[in-house]
Amino acid sequence: MKTLLPALARPLLEPHLPPGLDLHWFTTRAEAEAAIVDADIAWVDMQSPQDSAEVAALGARLRWLSTMRAGIDAYDTTLLRERGTVMTNGTGLNPVAVAEYALLGMLAAAKRYDEVVRMADRHDWPTVAPGTVELAGTSALIIGYGTIGRLIGNRLAAFGVAVTGVTRSGRDGTLTPDGWKPRIADYEWIILAAPSTGETAALLGAPEFAAMKRSAWVINMARGDMIDQPALIEALTEHQIAGAFLDTVDPEPLPADHPLWSAPNALHSMHLSGRSQTTMFTRAATLFLENLAAFMAGEPMRNVVDLEAGY
């Protein structure tokens, strides 16, 4: 069974791989492209999600495609479904790091720690704090109350924040996708933590920004395309909302001359949330080995993607 794997993971994988696999280790995109054409199994994560997806599309015989990324919006899921390829993703590999980053962003916004850092760089000693908001007593709407969303919610509850989640089903007292927009003015924090699908494109746009509290902050831990960015820039410029903490934007990387960089009260963290840890790659290798054993035994694997739903 031909198996294509990243050479970067070889020390973590090779000692634990079962015999009988036809192993191919890649270090470059060209090597991956050459080997995936007739591969049965492939883990082809590269620096760019788009590169990974384009290489994966060449795997006409793939029975199982593995990625350590949680989001699969770059992949041609229709093509994978037509080929009968099973895809597994990296949901659960970095939720703690992302949740902690969301909390970091909210605290930075509440206390305007970005301005505090700039004051320190200038050697200023102010007598008035730039940010005076307390998290306690505020309310947060978390759109996408899955693994990451719940972890964010649990942490915010400890800070005295009233949390409302949004799920497809409306389970456990959460709001449904058609139930949160009429209530958007109730919240100081609008947090995006949902998977990116066709239904989530431009989820927040001009009507939503106009309906928010002027004191509201948008916290995007999901995907950049969930926000109508021209509308966000206008809302920030016109001070319709207080600000935005953006771990993700569209496109990535954001061009140096993009106006979102300098939009008022836009705080950027350059999609570093999931990388702010040292164990994700090790966890990804462990997950791959567990799923490989299940795949070889014909048993259910973890993190199987619903290719029709897109997550």
* From 239, 252, 275, 302, the catalytic residue: 252
Mean per-residue pLDDT, 225-241: 98
Q: Which residue has the tokens 């809302």?
A: 235
Q: Which of 69, 112, 150, 271 is catalytic?
A: 271
- pTM for this structure? 0.91
Question: Is 268 known to be catalytic?
Answer: no
Q: What is the pLDDT of residues 121-137, one digit of tens each?
A: 999 999 999 999 999 99
Decide if 83 is catalytic: no
The encoded tokens of residue 215 equal 């004191």
pLDDT at 276 over 90: yes
Question: Residue 309: pLDDT band by 50, 70, 90 thresholds?
Answer: confident
Choose the catalytic residue: 69, 112, 150, 223.
Answer: 223
Domains annotated on the chain, with CATH: 2-93+277-297 (3.40.50.720), 95-275 (3.40.50.720)
252 included as an active-site residue: yes
